Structure 1
Amino acid sequence: MSRTVSFIMLQSPCPIRARKMARLCHIPLDRAELKTPQNQRFTFGNIDNGKPEIGNSLHGVQVVGGSNPLAPTKIKAARLKALRLFRFSPHFAFVQCFLDKVLDVCLKLIASLARGHGLVESSLATRTAHCAIIMTDYAIWPAAATTAGLILALTPKRLFSRLDTPDFNSANRLHSLDGLRGLLALAVFFHHSVLGHFRPSLSEPTFPSPFYDMLGSVGVALFFMITGFLFWSRLISAQTSIRWMPLYVKRFFRIAPLYCFVAIVYGLATLQAVGIPAGTSPLHIAKQAVQWLAFGMVQNPEPFLSFPNTLGIIGQSWSLYYEWLFYASLPFLAVLAKNRTTAPIVIAALVFVLFVDGVIGPGARYFVAQFLLGMLAASINREHPAIRGDGPRRSVVAIALLVGVFWLCDTAYTQLASVLLGGFFTLVASGTSLFGLLKLTGARRLGDISYSLYLTHGAVLTFMFTSGPLLDFSLTGSPQFFMAQAISALVLLMVCIATYMLIEKPGIALGSWIAALPSIQGRQTASRAPIDQHPTTAQSVEGAG
């Protein structure tokens, strides 16, 4: 029986989207082949000596992983642990080389111990060590560098002062949440940029990079927590009746204008791509259009003109459906908010949602839990004000909780991830700034335009990476892709500044004017401002796909 491998991982800067692939395959260990979508064949021989021979002229293609299905559990566990370490390692060349050598020595030692205990025969253990799984091609530091560049770009006070809200420097504003919101919007952008670049060449519906895969679900989870925190904070602080009509008018004009703009762009792009298919019923087209123009209130609308290829322009708006549901629940939550202590109520609801199966659907239960975790953070902040503050220790704990999510979980939609993210968010919502990062002027300005970042990044990525020189450039290698990603991020920033100034701010002003009309105000009076006038509530409506 010939020995076979269960995984082969390839690393290559070749001009195809398949340069990073994880394929289940069964091929002889001494000869590994991968045929790319463009029928280019890479042949590797003599894997046993740890130096695969490259069978074609493209430079830099190498086998970077492999495992034997007969390998013992201990060796598999060590190999997976090494992979987790490499997720967070810097990817500079000299550091990479050093870490490769260290990992190779460790795996050889494991193989020697395995042989000594009779777990595997000598040649198999050696091959397992030489074919260690090392996923190094999805570097993390370029995303961090791009984020730092955008924060620095928005730092000049005079140049971008028009982005600042009237209470931008107010001591009552939750500056840490502003900065967090901006970083989360960028995280969603990075998630979708990597997803759109590499997913088309993968036959399996799995995401090749654990880190970039997690960015999407972590982003939407924390956005939902922000919404729950902000609105529940105002409910439990309200001393008299809430003016619901002004609230919903302002919410509508906060969300709808930009959404309608993106929906129109999506519709026009779809029409340009496919036209109106022959034989399509006008009534059916009108039904599809109405679904997409419903401001995100329709769950999973049918692709316009039944053409799914342009969904990337607006697909991220799926989270608005759950935001609207949460807004609809506010009058009912206001009844519970009248209790003097609300934390036990929220904790009971959270435990019920997370740990009682069959009550809420498997997907929606975690969305509900994330709103509840935000509400819990608000209750804790109000009932235990001593928790508020900032400092290095708090930042270390917050970062440790966040790293734990990426380290221990495959998605944010699990019980463990929800608890860890809830702890992280509670610290940030109580003032933790992650060593001042979240309170930087540039980060907070990213928070100001975060709704635009979230809602328009799909259109920017679609138009920039569908075809053209930037796409061709990005496909020539990993450095080129990350450079193209940085360019698209800069273009997105300029687009978002424009949409914020020309669409969002006028929409907010119009909503405030309508909400102030006597017919909208009604006869209700209140000693406090409506809950949507909380300093940071105005942009808490983002989500991630």
Structure 2
Amino acid sequence: MRLRGNETLDRIRDRISELDALRGLAALAVMLFHYVYFYNHNYAIHPIDTSGSFFQYGAYGVHLFFIISGFVIYMTIRKCESVKDFWVKRAIRLYPAYLTAVAFTFLATSTYSGLDSLSISIIDALLNATMLQGVVPGVDIPLVDGSYWSLAVELHFYVFCGMLLATGLLRSPLTISWVWMVTIYVLKLLFVAGMIHPIVGDLGIVNYSNLFIAGVMFFELKNGKRIVPHVIIVLAAAYQFIFFSFLSGVIVSAFYLLFYALLTGNLRLLNNKPLIALGTISYSLYLIHQNVGYLILHYLEDRGFTQPGILAVPVVVSILLAVVITNFIERPLQRKMLRAYGAVRAKDGSDSIPVAT
């Protein structure tokens, strides 16, 4: 969607704010899925029947994250001057909060003896600190926190984007998206037919590429491209229906409709301070909430607190931890690293200082 001449910078900021709000809602949905549904089915001392719980669908918050990543990462990488520039910005954006969450979660799960299944060795924790623990297909390294599985999918997407930047193909997003979409259709069909190994046909990036592609196409719609992005978005929705489930297709299609509403200015109700604040801490919240929350719930249950109201405790604690990590660790470290990177770039003859997105 092309910006009209009378559209202001404030309106553009509103749209980014609405995107932050969606990110915050996605993190909240995943957190409630883990506390209300997943914990109850796997770790609860006094499990209750939650088979019909609405919160089980909160797992699809990760799908929404991937669509947002397609949009935001494509927007970001178009401003990068080199692959090195892209990876440095990504590292500055991701690692301060991530390393903090890894250290805190490892210490918590290693100290609390009630849920030994959540603890891992110090070697595996150090491997997790690299964020590469799930990147190599077929190499199974225990996770410090179960939520970190999605980081490998994100990193695969970043590698793909870096390759496009390095080869100059980033300037042809529609062509690349066509080829990418056809490729994942072929790979999934071959996998379903039993003709290729699951490591190839059932790889995370293959299962979720349709979401990243849709995010890129929504950015193209925002910048004036018309017919082709719509067609590719329809193919991305069809991919979900064909290779997964009808329900997942409906939910993902609903997310696509949310993006259409965002681009047409119909999500202004999300542009409010609480949701934007939640979006601001969403990355840290996603990283810190799962296993730490499970420990809190188990500790409370073990001491006789079994009322549904105890769910508020890990929610509040996780949000507070995310606020601390975001405001007192992540942002200050990012500012320092950006200044240092800017100084290095200045010495190399570049006056521009990068901004983490």
TM-score w.r.t. length of structure 2: 0.73
- Given that residues 246 and 520 in structure 1 are in contact (C-alpha distance below 8 angstroms), is that contact kept between their aligned partners in structure 2? no
Q: Output the CA distance in 2 between the equivalents of 1:330 and 1:516.
A: 23
Q: Output the CA distance in 2 between the equivalents of 1:521 and 1:421.
A: 48
Supply the AA of the counterpart residue of 1:509. Answer: R
Equivalent position of 1:211 in the other structure: 54
Supply the AA of the counterpart residue of 1:420. Answer: S
- Given that residues 452 and 499 in structure 1 are in contact (C-alpha distance below 8 angstroms), is that contact kept between their aligned partners in structure 2? yes
Structure 1 pair 362–268 and aligned structure 2 pair: CA distance change class (3 A)? same
Equivalent position of 2:86 in the other structure: 247
- Given that residues 229 and 378 in structure 1 are in contact (C-alpha distance below 8 angstroms), is that contact kept between their aligned partners in structure 2? yes
Structure 2, unmatched stretches of 5+, are: 1-8, 192-199, 228-236
Structure 1 pair 363–214 and aligned structure 2 pair: CA distance change class (3 A)? farther
Moved more, 372-381 or 180-189: 372-381
Greater C-alpha Rg: 1
Write the mapping of 1:300-319 to structure 2, written as runs, cut at 5 A.
302-303=141-142, 314-319=145-150
Q: Displacement of 1:317 after TM fit?
A: 1.3
Q: Displacement of 1:291 after TM fit?
A: 1.4
Equivalent position of 2:279 in the other structure: 447
Equivalent position of 1:337 in the other structure: 170
SS at match of 1:318: helix
Write the mapping of 1:254-333 to structure 2, written as runs, cut at 5 A.
254-273=93-112, 287-299=123-135, 302-303=141-142, 314-333=145-164
Q: Is 1:220 aligned to 2:46, yes or no?
A: no
Equivalent position of 1:229 in the other structure: 71
Q: Displacement of 1:257 after TM fit?
A: 1.9
- Given that residues 354 and 366 in structure 1 are in contact (C-alpha distance below 8 angstroms), is that contact kept between their aligned partners in structure 2? no
Equivalent position of 2:208 in the other structure: 367
Supply the AA of the counterpart residue of 2:256. Answer: G
Q: Displacement of 1:368 after TM fit?
A: 1.7
Q: Where is the helix percentage greater, Structure 1 or Structure 2?
A: 2
Q: After superposition, what is the alpha-carbon deviation per residue over 1:346-371, rounded to whole angstroms, capped at 9, x for unaligned? A: 24422432465237422522222211
- Given that residues 191 and 212 in structure 1 are in contact (C-alpha distance below 8 angstroms), is that contact kept between their aligned partners in structure 2? yes
- Given that residues 96 and 334 in structure 2 are in contact (C-alpha distance below 8 angstroms), is that contact kept between their aligned partners in structure 1? no
Equivalent position of 1:44 in the other structure: none
TM-score w.r.t. length of structure 1: 0.50
Structure 1 pair 447–409 and aligned structure 2 pair: CA distance change class (3 A)? same
Poorly superposed stretches of 4+, deviation over 6 Å: none
Structure 1 pair 198–288 and aligned structure 2 pair: CA distance change class (3 A)? closer
Q: Output the CA distance in 1 between the equivalents of 2:123 and 2:42.
A: 30
Write the mapping of 1:41-60 to structure 2, written as runs, cut at 5 A.
none
Write the mapping of 1:89-104 to structure 2, written as runs, cut at 5 A.
none
Q: Is 1:423 aligned to 2:249, yes or no?
A: no
Q: After superposition, what is the alpha-carbon deviation per residue over 1:291-321, rounded to whole angstroms, capped at 9, x for unaligned? A: 1221355447534xxxxxxx6x621011111
Equivalent position of 1:184 in the other structure: 26
Q: After superposition, what is the alpha-carbon deviation per residue over 1:457-493, rounded to whole angstroms, capped at 9, x for unaligned? A: 12441231122369733x3xxxx31x22233322322
Aligned residues: 311
Q: Output the CA distance in 2 between the equivalents of 1:296 and 1:411.
A: 31
Q: Output the CA distance in 1 between the equivalents of 2:67 and 2:186.
A: 19
Structure 1 pair 502–525 and aligned structure 2 pair: CA distance change class (3 A)? closer
Please, which of 23, 39, 42 is the counterpart of residue 199 of structure 1?
A: 42
- Given that residues 297 and 320 in structure 1 are in contact (C-alpha distance below 8 angstroms), is that contact kept between their aligned partners in structure 2? no
Supply the AA of the counterpart residue of 2:22. Answer: L
Structure 1 pair 495–267 and aligned structure 2 pair: CA distance change class (3 A)? closer
Equivalent position of 2:234 in the other structure: none
Query: What is the identity percentage for the equivalent residue pairs of Structure 1 and Structure 2?
Result: 23
- Given that residues 30 and 58 in structure 2 are in contact (C-alpha distance below 8 angstroms), is that contact kept between their aligned partners in structure 1? yes
Q: Is 1:458 aligned to 2:294, yes or no?
A: no
Q: After superposition, what is the alpha-carbon deviation per residue over 1:67-117, rounded to whole angstroms, capped at 9, x for unaligned? A: xxxxxxxxxxxxxxxxxxxxxxxxxxxxxxxxxxxxxxxxxxxxxxxxxxx
Structure 1 pair 517–470 and aligned structure 2 pair: CA distance change class (3 A)? farther
- Given that residues 233 and 378 in structure 1 are in contact (C-alpha distance below 8 angstroms), is that contact kept between their aligned partners in structure 2? yes
Q: After superposition, what is the alpha-carbon deviation per residue over 1:197-227, rounded to whole angstroms, capped at 9, x for unaligned? A: 233469xxx97236322211x2111111111
| Bigger RCO of structures 1 and 2 (CA < 8 A, at least 6 apart) | 2
Q: Output the CA distance in 1 between the equivalents of 2:335 and 2:184.
A: 38
Write the mapping of 1:43-122 to structure 2, written as runs, cut at 5 A.
none
Structure 1 pair 472–170 and aligned structure 2 pair: CA distance change class (3 A)? farther
Q: Displacement of 1:446 after TM fit?
A: 0.6
Q: Output the CA distance in 2 between the equivalents of 1:201 and 1:492.
A: 19
Structure 1 pair 501–201 and aligned structure 2 pair: CA distance change class (3 A)? closer
- Supply the RMSD in Å over aligned alpha carbons: 3.7
Q: After superposition, what is the alpha-carbon deviation per residue over 1:10-39, rounded to whole angstroms, capped at 9, x for unaligned? A: xxxxxxxxxxxxxxxxxxxxxxxxxxxxxx
SS at match of 1:208: coil
Q: Displacement of 1:287 after TM fit?
A: 3.7
